[in-house]
Structure 1
Amino acid sequence: MDRSAKPGDDFDRYASGAWTQATPIPPDRGAWGPFAMLRAKAECDVKAIVDDMIGRPQPGGSIERKIAETYNAYLDTKAIEAAGLNPARADLAMIAAARSHEDVARLMGHPELGLGGPLSLTPWPDAADPDRYAINIVQSGLSLPDRDFYLKTDPRSAEVRTRFRSYVARMLALDHYPNPEAAADAVLALETAIAQVHWTRGKRAERDLTYHPKSRAELKAFAQDYPWDAMLAALGIARHDFYVLKEDSAIRELAELFRRTPVAVWRGYMTFHYLNGMADVLPAAFDDLSFDFNGRLLSGLPQKRERWKRATVALNAALGEAVGQRYVQRHFTPDAKVQITALVENLRAAFRARIERLDWMSAGTKQAALAKLAAIRVKVGYPDNWRDYATLEVRAGDPLGNRKRALLWDWKRRIARLGQPVDRDEWGMTPQNVNAYSNSFFNEIVFPAAILQPPYFDPAADLAVNYGGIGGVIGHEMSHAFDDQGAKTDAKGAQRDWWDKADMVRFKALISRLAEQYSRYEPIPGGRLNGWTTLSENIGDLGGLNVALEAYHLALKGKPAPILDGTTGDQRVFLSWAQTYRENIRDEALRAALTSDPHSPSTFRVNGVVRNIDAWYSAFGVKPGDRLYLDPVDRVHIW
């Protein structure tokens, strides 16, 4: 803490200022805070698991052998260097042989090549009927994090584009691509044209604008310039007959752009995307180039991450649940799962009480909201059924091949479910992932094992600290069921309108006030926060802390909160929340986040939230004249 700061002027500094001053960002990180620190710990934990496997003979074909060989192959940079581009030659030759738009679409449809393209197809539950799978089609095709990087005219964006063009040329030159400078010009021009067609982040977030179901015949008629037959056959879904277009107008325009772009330009585009995506399992010249642009320029990293750390990331991508099963055995106890589950139910009870007290929502809508709240499924720690990797082939000393086989294996696993009932037991994150999420299609909230440790959760900690930490995270994810987009799905996860119209008008007025409030923040000179594109997460933060505080009082069961280290219970809830979001971040990473991250910067996940909660004012004696003070009529109370 920095007790020289006044809580009402800068609560983030008051709660974490001494830590901020004393804690440098590691040279291989764009930002550093509890999330990043726990992720670093998870990497060490995974390394220890793998080191134990490597230290003992493992039977051929066993999952332990696959884990060890995947990890070792990635680490063996001497072998990667000696192999040169030989492991990639066949793929690059296929790209070079493309002579028609059908050839290009067919290559983009090979999941194992990772070429990307202007359209991305993904099996996903149908938003209107989440008990069945659809193939979602979304806009795609950009190398930079967001369309704004191509279209904004400020000096930083212009510099990124100049450096990107140079990066493309240098990457192609390493492959001895013919006339790499001209090809780089063409790639930048193409991606700029793609960006001009893309919907904005704000428009993409509107769920009622992004549901356009089509049969295969309707899809081909809607965007007839695209070689659908070639791509669908390559993807192995030629017989599938149910598709959902997200950004429908953009998809049609991207199809037109695809057809009028010369095949030669697409060859340069695909070659670059292949080399960029596979750079870490290619010789060091490719990997270093990738880091120089993607790490040093975009995120401001002075230093590339150690190879073993990146090996854990590659391992988790290929065999995540197999690693996670062993991670849970070492690092997550059944008792922790019981405690978290009980804490979640306290949060649910607090949320129920808050909904019942709402003065802006009518009785009918309240009943539907309460039914949705009661139906939220909670997943804690790890999945009940682990993924079986028996059919995934891993080869010693073949890191690029291992990546390709893992990508293809996962794609085949996912499309095998088409036509089958949706698997609601599936997890979207591995247990060793330090994160949490809300899945509105399943009306569920999910908390992997790795986040359920200090500073978020400690079985021995004071109740207030746990409620301000993991309680706030749980409340945040629970609130997503009722944020500006989550509120568009019902208790079963189906996208439909379950609101009284007058209630929806009042709800939109409230969340608009919150968006306008956040849009006034400027985290970095010239970089203003967009309160509309971060709205869902801001609603989650505000609802989460409100619910956590109320749940803490329920947990006290009528007993007075103890005074600890001179702090009241309410103060510790607020301090715990603030300290779990403390973070140091590089300017480059912050600017990138303002363009592409749906979350507000950490400072405003603290200061932007507490100033809307009445109890914070009384807990810290915040008065008019303090910089964070908001008049009661200007405070936003939603859930």
Structure 2
Amino acid sequence: MKKLLIGAALGALLLPAAAQAQSWTDTDDHACIDEACTVFELFQAPTQGAAVQGYQGTVAPRYGTWGFDLNGRDTSVNPGDSFFRYANGAAYDRLQIPSDRTSYGSFNLLRELSDNRVKEMIDELVARSDLTPGSDEQKIADAYRSYMDVARIEALDEQPLQPYLAAIQAADTHDKMAVLMGSSQGRIGASIFGTGITIDQKAPTRYVVSTGQSGIGLPNRDYYLETRWAEKKVLYQAYVARMLGMIGWANPEQAAADIVAFETKIAEAHWTPIQNRNRDETYNEYTISQLASEAPGFPWQAYYNAVGVGEVPRLIVRQDTAMPKIAAIYAETPMSVIQAWQAFHTVDDAAPRLSQRFSDAQWEFRSRDLNGQPAQRPRDKRGISFAEGMLGEAVGRQYVAEYFPAESKAKMEELVSNLRLALSHRIDNLTWMGPETRAAAQEKLAKFTVKIGYPNKWRDYSALEIRPDDLFGNGERAGLFQWQYQLNRLNQPVDKDEWGMTPQTVNAYYNSANNEIVFPAAILQAPFFDPDADPAVNYGGIGGVIGHEIGHGFDDQGSKSDGDGVLRNWWTPADKANFDALTTRLGAQYDQFEPIPGFHVQGGLTMGENIGDAAGVAVGLEAYHLSLGGRPAPVLDGTTGDQRFFYGWAQVWQSKYRDDALRNQIATDPHSPAEFRVIGPVRNVDAWYDAFGVQPGTKYYLAPEDRVRIW
């Protein structure tokens, strides 16, 4: 269980966040596109000819002769019945999900491409004997070596945990345990509350301490409270008992039952995922003494002292009404239960860096049982992820030098300029918005910052110690290094140059506090962006992504911040009412989508991403038309420019899921499943009907008056 979100939160990502244990995260600042993000979001999509073992090469894929694989379509399907199938059906049917994946598609392929490149880079570093001791290159190689030193890891077995377990046994009062929870920040362990250092949404030139709900080990509260997840809850209890038994905890079965009962009470107090999206409700300014008064039963000052923030004068409490309930639950729970809870979450947190019996047990529950993944990722791939997690920007610096040509950045800058111009034109012509709000929207758009490829300055890892024979210690030192980095920010101005993703990440995001859109180098490849592809396909692919991220600045939550990143209302009451009416209609459309029987898309949970997708398609198409400069679009292989644009959007969302993974995404993720990231936006765009002759009577036809046009 994570205790904090490291760095500024990414509240508007392109892809969904990977399924993981519920932890407190500040999701107010960024949004991204898909699932392999940790704190980011990625798009997910399959690829032509993808094999069971996944993508093995280090060369970016190509699609057709001009950027789209016409052979990937299923033209037996009417576009109005499923544009996802029409554009992607044959490719989808050919697609096989690798056994070590829960889904597969274009995003996953590019993630593997990035991993393969990084693996090749790290293999070269490991083979060298001339690396400078203490250099970033030496640390990268040593981090990977430590993960691959299986003999030493197996010999140590659970030994690295012993100091932690002794500390848990010594924390035999509620006050002592609260201190242990606070001191676990950046280390192995857990807390019923999560604390992080984030940008202050109402004063985005400074950082602030934020605290919110945590304390549960299943993906979210629904897994404890809804009968449709009852089987997963039973499997979770068995997993808790298994891990406790492996460390020799007394009466593991009874302890597991007590832990799940404890977490169920906490889950009942938790806010729902939809509530957690509301930036107005999750910004609650407190002092520590006020929090102690309103949420008695937990020693807040001692906790914050252990966290390392001491007597901070102010903090932001996210789920303010949940805090008193969780504190009361903590106070009334016997210490034997809380100690067992801490012991389980400590071993669960440490499992990937322990011997195989621990890492296998964790994988079997969290990946196989929760998400349907048949096989574990090979150890060398996990080793790459570990090294990147320790020294992400050091790896990224080398990645950029080898794989990111300068011309890609220049072409992206041109695309972004055209997308901004297109949205500006559209804002000027919105019939539902008045002049006062329109001027504020234009001001915000003009103040957008754009980051492409890689940061202007790189992280300094000189203070991080990495040893080739100490996997567990490397992870601990890296966690403490990162947490100290966060603590050091508290009295410093916000670093506007900092990135929330590494260059080798296949994703993109919007950060509302900085009012910035960010596109790492690794996403600037086919099918998203291909310098040799037809422009219409690029505008449908990366253009749609750019529009998506810009759109997050104007979605139901991003629109609550102004051009300087300040959380404030810049809308007139009438315009806000008009906007809310449009978003309500859009949410109702998505509520009707049922990707898997019994599981409907949650329009309220996915609202921000759906607005981003709608903006991406509408603004991207207008930008493509502007790029033509009044010239007619060429016809290629019988396809018009508008058709190629919509094909480009659909192709980046080719994706296939395992059933458990899809259910998990619907329940927990703010992104709609890939099929409806294609269908949902295009059915609200008039030009799509014209491009493909979509007529009334088809499944996803909308009458003109029912089409939702927001941006």
Q: Per the shorter chain, which TM-score range? A: over 0.9
Secondary structure in 1 matching 2:553: helix
* 1:483-521 C-alpha deviation (Å, 9 max, x unpaired): 000111011000001001000001000000000111011
In structure 1, the partner of 2:408 is 336
> Paired residue for 1:122?
196
Aligned length: 637
Amino acid at match of 2:352: D
Give yes or no for contact 2:199–2:205 (8 Å, CA) kept in 1: yes
Quote how far apart the aligned CAs of 1:596 are.
0.6
Report the secondary structure of 1:28's partner residue. coil
> How far apart, CA to CA, are the structure 1 residues paired with 2:294 and 2:203?
23
Residue 290 of structure 2 corresponds to 218
* Partner residue in 2 for 1:373: 445
Q: Which amino acid aligns with 2:193?
A: L
> Are 2:579 and 1:507 aligned?
yes
| Structure 2 residues not aligned, in runs of 5+ | 1-72
2:501 partner letter: M
Q: How does 1:482-497 map to 2 (within 5 A)?
A: 482-497=554-569
In percent, how many aligned pairs have the same letter? 48
- Residue by residue, what CA displacement relative to the aligned partner does 1:36-78 show, whole Å, maximum 9, x if unpaired? 1111111111111111111112222111111111111111222
Match of 1:60 in 2: 133
How far did 1:215 drift? 2.2
Matched, 1:91 2:164: yes
1:505-584 pair list within 5 angstroms:
505-584=577-656
Partner Cα separation in structure 2 for residue 499 and residue 37 of structure 1: 41
Tell me, what secondary structure is at the counterpart of 1:430? coil
Q: Which of these residues, 664, 668, 676, is aligned with residue 592 of structure 1? A: 664
Paired residue type of 2:195: L
The separation in 2 between residues aligned to 1:208 and 1:237, in whole angstroms, is 25
Contact 2:186 2:482 in 1 (8 A): no
- Which one of the candidate residues 210, 216, 227 is aligned to 1:153? 227
Structure with bigger helix share is 1
Q: Match of 2:206?
A: 132
Give the equivalent residue in structure 2 for 1:108: 181
Partner of 1:398: 470
Q: Answer yes or no: is 1:309 the counterpart of 2:381.
A: yes
Deviation sequence 1:57-101 (CA, Å, 0-9, x none) = 222211111111111111122211111111221112111221111
Letter in 1 for 2:208: A
Q: Is the 8 A contact 1:91 1:113 kept in 2?
A: no
Is the contact between residue 219 and residue 243 of structure 1 (CA under 8 Å) also seen in structure 2? no
Shift of 1:216: 2.7
1:262 corresponds, among 331, 334, 338, to 334
Residue of structure 1 equivalent to 2:152:
79
- Secondary structure of the equivalent of 1:560? coil
Secondary structure of the structure 2 residue equivalent to 1:422:
coil
2:544 to 472, 480, 498: 472
Letter in 1 for 2:170: A
* Residues 513 and 566, structure 2, Cα contact 8 Å, conserved in 1: yes
TM-score (norm. length: structure 1)? 0.99
Please list every run of at least 4 consecutive aligned residues from structure 1 whose deviation after the TM superposition is greater than 4 angstroms.
none
Letter in 2 for 1:355: I
> What is the CA RMSD across the aligned residues, in angstroms?
1.0
1:12 maps to which of 68, 84, 90: 84
Residue by residue, what CA displacement relative to the aligned partner does 1:535-567 show, whole Å, maximum 9, x if unpaired? 110000001110000000111111111111110
Between 248-257 and 215-224, the greater mean CA deviation after superposition:
215-224
Equivalent residue in structure 2 for 1:345, among 408, 414, 417: 417
Whole-Å Cα distance in 1 between the matches of residues 414 and 446 of structure 2?
15
The whole-number CA distance in structure 2 between the counterparts of 1:337 and 1:103 is 53
Say whether residues 1:240 and 2:312 are aligned partners: yes
Shift, 1:114, TM fit: 3.4
Cα deviations across residues 136-171 of structure 1 (Å, max 9, x unaligned)?
A: 1111111111110000012xx111011100000011
Between the aligned partners of 1:218 and 1:384, the Cα distance in structure 2 is 41
SS at match of 2:517: strand
8 Å contact from structure 1 (residues 336, 459) kept in 2: yes
TM-score (norm 2): 0.89
Q: Structure 1 unaligned segments of length 5 or more: list them.
A: none
Shift of 1:291: 1.2
* Residue among 144, 147, 155 paired with 2:218: 144
| Distance in 1 (alpha carbons) for counterparts of 2:677 and 2:94 | 21
Q: Distance in 2 between matches of 1:114 and 1:485?
A: 33
TM-superposed CA distance for 1:229, in Å, is 2.3
1:253 to 325, 350, 366: 325
Give the 3-state SS of the residue equivalent to 1:445 in structure 2: strand
The CA distance in 2 between the partners of 1:544 and 1:207, in whole Å, is 23
Measured after TM superposition, the shift of residue 526 of structure 1 is 0.8
- Secondary structure of the equivalent of 2:227? coil
Per the alignment, residue 485 of structure 2 pairs with 413
SS of structure 2 residue aligned to 1:292: helix
Q: How does 1:166-205 map to 2 (within 5 A)?
A: 166-205=238-277
Query: 2:115 matched to 1:43?
Result: yes
Whether 1:605 and 2:605 are equivalent positions in the alignment is no
In the aligned structure 2, how far is the partner of 1:315 from the partner of 1:151?
Answer: 37
